[in-house]
Amino acid sequence: MRYRLQVPPAVPQGSTGILLGRGIASSLEFMDYREYQPGDDLRRVDWNALARSDKLTVKLYRDEIHPHVDLILDGSRSMTLAGSAKRPATLALAAALIEAAGNAGYRHTVWLIDRQCRQIPRGAEPPDVWEGIDFSAPVNPGAVLARYTPAWRTRGIRIFLSDLLWLGEPLETLYRLADRAAAVHVVQVLARADIEPPQRGNLRLVDSETGSVRDIFLDAAAQKRYRDKFTRHQQHWHRACRQVGATLTNVTAETFWERQRLDAFLAANILQVC
């Protein structure tokens, strides 16, 4: 089965590589008028209409979308959690999404967040020739993006693959991802061990990022507290994604690796079957 990347809510126009979205934006193709609202670009004010009706109206133009995908991978160590399928699942997901983008006529660039956000070597080529993806950086991806926001393609689609397990404000990261982007898809790849707490007993927790150690006694109450915190964490990201217009898709690495199915992306209108 072949998939292609869907541009929500855009319709591809022409074959020059320029796509016009269904949303309102700043392309040259006029779509409609509406009343001026604070914050609107004053360059879009229809001065003629103001002279005629003494009302401030702005012109609305069709959204202009570049057929380009920036795939951003979280290169931190937690993506290679021992005993989990996070790394292969992330790479397989990345390959599948890039393939789907190619099927929809998109070009792509692959970025890796380690100590900074950088393009991987041969990242514009098919996935089987990508180089330099090692998931070994002990970094906070949110903090890296805050310092090193790269020049992603304006009006392009940005796909961010990460486990989102770091301490920080999601909106801060998402604003940077969504800046002048046509669409942002956040794909959270989690291991089962991230979702479900371990069995009860004395645990020496080791942080896969930093190697920090914490000794705890895990009982039913502690397990419940973990689940509650995990749920709050997820809800926090979902809320932030809705706020910036991004989609958030949760993938369990082991499940995806076992079944190799992209149903969640179809359901989220990110992919469609060719």
Partner 1 sequence: MPFFAYPLALLGLTSIPVLVGLYWLRSRFRRHTVSSLVLWDEPQRPRQGGRRLQRFQGSLLFILELLVLLLFVAAAAKPMIRSGRVTRHLVVVLDDSYSLLAENDGSARQRAQEALEAELRDTPRFTARFLRAGPSGQLLAEAATDLRGVRRICQQWTCQAPAGNLTDALQLAHELAADQSHILILTDQPPPTIPEKGTVQWWSFGAPVANLAIVHAARSGTDAGDRCLVQVRNFSALPAASRLVVTTEDGATIREEAFSLAAGQENTFRWVPPAGTAAVRVSLPDGDALSIDNQVVLLPERAEPVPVRVDITGPRLRLAVQQALAAARIAETGPGRYRLLITDEPNAVADEPLAWTVSILAEEPPAAYLGPYLLDESHRLTEGLALEGVIWAAGRRQEVPGRAILLAGDVPLITDQQTDNERHYVRIRLRPELSSLTRSAAWPVLFWNLLEWRRRHLPGLERVNCRLGDKAVFVTENPNDEFVLVDPAGRQERLIPQANSLTAPADRPGIHEIRSSTETARFAVNALQPDESDLRRNGSGRWGNWRDEATLQREYRRIDWVFLLGALGVLAVHAGLIHRHSQMYRFGEAPGPDRKTAGRPG
Q: Are the C-beta atoms of residues 97 and 73 closer than 8 Å to each other?
A: no
Binding mask 153-192 for partner 1 (x = CB under 8 A): ----------xxxxx-----------------------x-
Whichever of 31 and 218 has its CB closer to partner 1, that residue is 218
Taking CB under 8 A as the binding criterion, the range among 14-22, 55-63, 172-180, 226-234 that sits at the site for partner 1 is 226-234
Q: What DSSP assignment string belongs to 108-146?
A: EEEEEESSSEEEPTTTTS-GGG-------B---HHHHHH
Q: By C-beta, is 133 or 139 nearer to partner 1?
A: 139
What the block records as the tokens of 218 is: 């895990």
Query: Counting contacts by CB under 8 A, is residue 210 touching partner 1?
Result: yes
Residue type, 217: F
Residue 168's region, left for phi above 0, alpha for psi from -120 to 50, else beta, is left
Say whether residue 82 binds partner 1 (CB under 8 A): yes
Whichever of 165 and 270 has its CB closer to partner 1, that residue is 165
Amino acid at 187: V
CB contact set of 197 (below 8 Å; sequence gap of 6+): 218, 222, 223, 226, 227
**Closest C-alpha among 159, 170, 177 to residue 233:** 170
- Cβ closer to partner 1: 31 or 171? 171
Please identify, using beta-carbon distances, which residue of 122 and 238 lies nearer to partner 1. 238
Candidates 138, 236, 238, 255: give the one binding partner 1 (CB under 8 A): 138
* Local structure of 174: helix, strand or coil: helix
Binding site for partner 1 (CB under 8 A): 76, 78, 81-83, 86, 138-141, 143, 163-167, 191, 193-194, 198, 201-210, 212-217, 221-222, 225-226, 229-230, 233
